[in-house]
Amino acid sequence: MPNTKLLLTSLTFVGLIALAGCSFPGVYKIDIQQGNVVTQDMIDQLKPGMTRRQVRFIMGNPLVTDTFHANRWDYLYSIQPGGGQRQQERMSVIFNDSDQLVGLSGDFMPGVSRDQAILGQDGASPAPQPQAQPEQPQAEEPARPGSLEEQIQREIDEAETTPVPIPEPLETAPQ
C-alpha cells in the first residue's frame, strides 16, 4: 500500500511536469515585433534628391547603418504572430556622395499605397523606376499674389524680432 501511494504520487508529479512543457489550446501568445515599421505610405513620400535629414524625418532612424557602405541605410522589420511563422520585410535607402536620395531597394517600391488599393483608387500610371542620375531639385515658384501662401510669407517677412531678456547673474558672495 505505501508503495502504490508513492508510485501514484511520482506518476502524478511526472505527469504535471510533462504537461507544463506543453502548450495548452486557447493560451494567448503575444506577437513579437522587431525593427522599424515601414509602410507603403512612407515609401511613397520619398522622392529622389531628398537629403538624409528629410529621409530620417519620414522613415525614422535606420536599424542598420553599415560602416562599409556609408551611403546605404537599411530598415528591417520582422513580426512573428503568436504561434505563427515569422515574416520579415527589408528596405534599403541609397544616397549619393552629396547626401541626396538616389535609390530604393527591398520589399517596398514606390507606387499605389495599400490604402489606395483598398479604396479602389488605383494608380493608372506605372510605378516610376529608379533612375541612374538623380533629378536636380527644381527651384520653387514664387507664391501667386493674393494667395494664402503669399500672405503667410509677407507676415513672416514683416515680423519683428523681440530681444530675449538676459537674467542678471546670481550673487555668489556669502552673506
pLDDT one-digit tens code per residue, 103-125? 888 887 666 555 555 555 554 44
Return d(Cα 124, Cα 119) in angstroms, integer.
Answer: 14
Q: What is the DSSP annotation of 70-111?
A: TTEEEEEEEEE-TTS--EEEEEEEEE-TTSBEEEEEES--SS
Q: Which fold has domain 30-120?
A: Beta-lactamase Inhibitory Protein; Chain:B, domain 1 (3.30.1450)
- For residues 160-165, give the mean pLDDT: 73
pLDDT one-digit tens code per residue, 50-68? 999 999 999 999 888 878 8
- Please tell me the least confidently modeled range out of 46-55, 117-126, 146-155: 117-126
